[in-house]
Structure 1
Amino acid sequence: MAEADSDDVLATQESPAPPDEAGAADFWDVLRLTTQARIGLGRAGDALPSRRVLELRAAHADARDAVHEPLDVDSFATAVAEVGLGPATVVRSRAGSRSEYLRRPDLGRLPEAESLATIPGGEHQVGFVLADGLSPRALTDHGVALLAALVAELRPTLSLAPPVIAVQARVALADHLAAAMGVETVLVLIGERPGLSVADSLGVYLTYRPGPGRTDADRNCISNIHPPDGLGYEQAARVAAALVAGARRLGRSGVTLKDSSAAAALTAQDQRVVG
């Protein structure tokens, strides 16, 4: 009996203790609160657990749906009109279908010939183009609220043109539209390429003195707008307003223009503390 007890003690000393699976799960659960990345997925033998594989496939399907789901133009235009900039003009690119849009990015950058004639011209300082891009869902979910935040931020000091809704659109399409709108600066609200963590992220592209021939180096981008997990509407609007003001002072946008909104906020906070 004593010999058996001795063997049991020896076996216990030589065998590693089983991992604390509950503790490991708690560790990763805390870290997951800080990121949308897939971390600490676990293992089932030499593969991922079935639940994690199914989550990945569901996210991939969600991203594909976000790309292919068409924009409900009529409903969206009605919601945009309620922001108070007037009725929106709807234009289309030369991509005749979603499939062609995905295969031919160049056609998404050019307007239909008759589209430009439908845009009301004028002399405005800022214009808005709301584009479906690679995620019409993002425009549907966040476009109107973001537009309202931008209008609230910009309208007190700048003249704003009636909005334009662009279907099957790439960012550069707005260069042609802005020239027809007669605006000094154009802000493009466009659905960003969906990923496996976010399928409804919206971006804002700013171009000062827009026109055909502008390149990506002439633009500034504010991305990852999708509250509550991404950038919020009001914060994005403040950054956009700072960029618009900076572009007007500098006389250009793009790589030479930097966002100064955070520095301005810190300066204001310091003044309040000193005061």
Structure 2
Amino acid sequence: MAKEISKSNYLQKDPWENLRSLSKARIALGNSGGSLPTKEVLSFQEDHAFTKDAIYSDLKEEELSEKLKKIELPVYHFQTKVTDRKEYLKRPDLGKKLAQNSNDENEGFDILFILTDGLAADAINERAIPLLKEILPKLKNYKIGLCMVKYGRVAIGDEIAEELNAKFTAVLIGERPGLSSPKSLGIYTTYEPKPGTTDERRNCISNIHKNGLSIEKASELLRYFIKESFRRKLSGVKLKADSSNQDKLNF
């Protein structure tokens, strides 16, 4: 009579399984013979589906517009040269250019917060407004404008800044989704932005999501970059955030 094999004999745990409590990365998955356990295969397929959905998610423009109006700051809407989502994915260059320069008013702002979908629009839909509500009350001494642009890339902030005569931009954008972070928000800041600005002149705060950087911590870092950019009149690789120095981050 064949001996019954218990589940524990053929589903083998990885000896490094305790590391999974420290990271959302796919580590220490165990094995079933020469393969992954079915549970882990199905989990990967589910997360992969979430990632694909994130890339094709849409900016909730009407809902965001209503929420932006309630903040009681000037709100501007822009459109890039991209016509649809497929073109956005195939032509990154078009997401960096405005469809037309139609603003006739030379407004003049200290800071523009620019919301754009990027590669994960739901990150903007869910996290942009909470972040603005966290940071704006702490920026009393600046003239601030809010912008929303569909199908934008990071560099779209440069053309918008030129349109509205802004000294500083903070572009809130949906980051390229990962299997463990399909709704990750990124913030790119630039002092004295203008068309042709290269990326080494920007600072980035990334991985703002439920398993990553919190809204509160992101707001703290953003406030630091704003303060130091205006004080030193620069941004990018010459401006570093030393999170170990609490005096710099506590305003």
TM-score normalised by length of structure 1: 0.82
Q: Which residue of 2 aligns with 1:43?
A: 31
CA-CA distance at 1:104 after TM superposition: 0.5
- Cα distance in 2 for partners of 1:245, 1:222 equals 15
User: What's 1:249 paired with?
Assistant: 231
Report the Cα offset of residue 26 of structure 1.
9.6
Q: 1:90 aligns to what SS in structure 2? A: strand
CA separation of 1:230 and 1:83: change in aligned 2, threshold 3 A: farther
- The answer as to whether partners of 2:14 and 2:31 remain within 8 angstroms in 1 is no
SS at match of 1:128: strand
Deviation at residue 260 of structure 1 after TM alignment? 4.1
1:25 Cα offset (Å): 7.3
One-letter code aligned to 1:195: G
Question: What secondary structure, in the 3-state scheme, does the structure 1 residue paired with 2:189 have?
Answer: strand
Match among 198, 203, 208 for residue 220 of structure 1 = 203
Q: Displacement, 1:262?
A: 4.4
TM-superposed deviation, 1:80: 2.1
Are 2:104 and 1:90 equivalent residues in the alignment?
Answer: no
Q: Which amino acid aligns with 2:181?
A: V
Post-superposition Cα deviations, 1:73-123, rounded to whole Å, max 9, x if no partner, equal 11111122223324x32211111110001000000100101xx32486422
Cα deviation digits, residues 136-186 of structure 1 (max 9, x gap): 0111111110111121222x232212x110100000011000111221100
Q: Which has the higher helix share?
A: 1
RMSD over aligned Cα atoms: 2.3
- Change in CA separation of 1:119 and 1:26 when aligned onto 2, cut-off 3 Å: farther
- 1:124 lines up with 2:112 in the alignment: no
Partner residue of 2:141 out of 157, 162, 165: 157
CA offsets 1:19-72 (integer angstroms, 9 cap, x no match): 7979x57972x4322111112211111111111111101111101101101112
Q: Distance in 1 between matches of 2:155 and 2:91?
A: 14
Aligned match of 2:99: 112
1:7-22 → structure 2 map (5 Å cutoff): none
Tell me which protein shows more strand as a share of its residues: 2
Whether 2:176 is the aligned partner of 1:188: answer no
Structure 1 CA distance for aligned equivalents of residues 246 and 162 of structure 2 = 32
AA at the equivalent of 1:146: L
* Partners of 1:261 and 1:184 in 2: CA distance: 25
> Residues 95 and 50 from structure 1, CA distance in 2 versus in 1: closer, same or farther, beyond 3 angstroms?
same
When Rg is computed on C-alpha atoms for both structures, the one with the higher figure is 1
| Kept after mapping to 1: 8 A contact 2:108/2:165 | yes
CA distance in 2, matches of 1:144, 1:203: 13
2:121 maps to which of 136, 139, 144: 136
Q: Which amino acid is the alignment partner of residue 179 of structure 2?
A: L
CA distance in 1, matches of 2:248, 2:92: 41
Instruction: Compare 168-177 and 31-40 and name the one that shifted more.
Output: 31-40
Q: Percent identity?
A: 33
TM-score by length of 2: 0.89
Q: Which moved more, 1:137-146 or 1:245-254?
A: 245-254
What CA distance in whole angstroms lies between the structure 1 residues aligned with 2:91 and 2:116? 17
Unpaired segments ≥5 residues, structure 1: 1-17, 269-275
